[in-house]
Amino acid sequence: MALQLGQIAPDFEQDSSEGRLKFHEYLGSSWGILFSHPKDFTPVCTTELAEAARLMPEWKKRNVKPVGLSVDTGENHKGWAADIEETQGQTLNFPVIADHDRKVSTLYDMIHPAADPTVTVRSVFIIDPQKKIRLIMTYPPATGRNFAEILRVIDALQLTDGYKVATPVNWTDGKDVIIVPSLSDEEAKQRFPEGFRTLKPYLRMVKQPKLPSAS
């Protein structure tokens, strides 16, 4: 059965580019993103790993730990890391799981036989500090991931957890947000003393609170 939102992300212990990694222990009280690659020395993923490393200040601001995965050995990871630094000008600064026995890939349903039975699909999992899966995305092999979107979703999730708001279509940092329907008008007045706009009883807009990462 495929993993679903709200489930506890399966724990595992596996080799990585930074040694043996116990997933839940490694994440600790942080958020996490786990993102997979078909195998080492693939062109699109070379650019993605570099971008994820380049964004380390942004991950740290949001209390997020990135973890990559590829169905290759740690020895291959070392060679790939050198290629990434040479071609992208960026050193890897987070662990990449060496899932050579496909243990983690199978656990996270990353093998899609109809696409290719020998490699992982390119999945992204966002995991909160309670180890719950909050987002699952799967990309085709030839399309690079949009890390700006991944950061946007993390910001939105952290706003929801912190302030009981939801984010409307195409929301970006600084735009108005929606008060969640489960919050009564009285509760909303207490939470948002500066006021809010009621477009419909179920659609109440309010100025975006400060992002947790900006606090």
Tokens read off for 167: 């984010």
Active-site residue flag, 45: yes
170/182 Cα distance (integer angstroms): 22
Any bridge partners for residue 137, and if so which? 124
117/1 Cα distance (integer angstroms): 17
Q: Which of 45, 67, 126, 150 is catalytic?
A: 45
Closest residue by Cα to residue 66 from 120, 18, 107: 18
166/158 Cα distance (integer angstroms): 10
190/128 Cα distance (integer angstroms): 27
Angle between helices 43-54 and 74-88 (to 10 degrees): 80
Say how many residues make up the chain.
215
C-beta neighbour count of 103 within 10 angstroms: 15
Angle between helices 43-54 and 147-163 (to 10 degrees): 40
User: Which residue type sits at 80?
Assistant: W
Tokens read off for 123: 């999945």
Longest dimension (CA), the chain: 59
Residues that are catalytic? 45
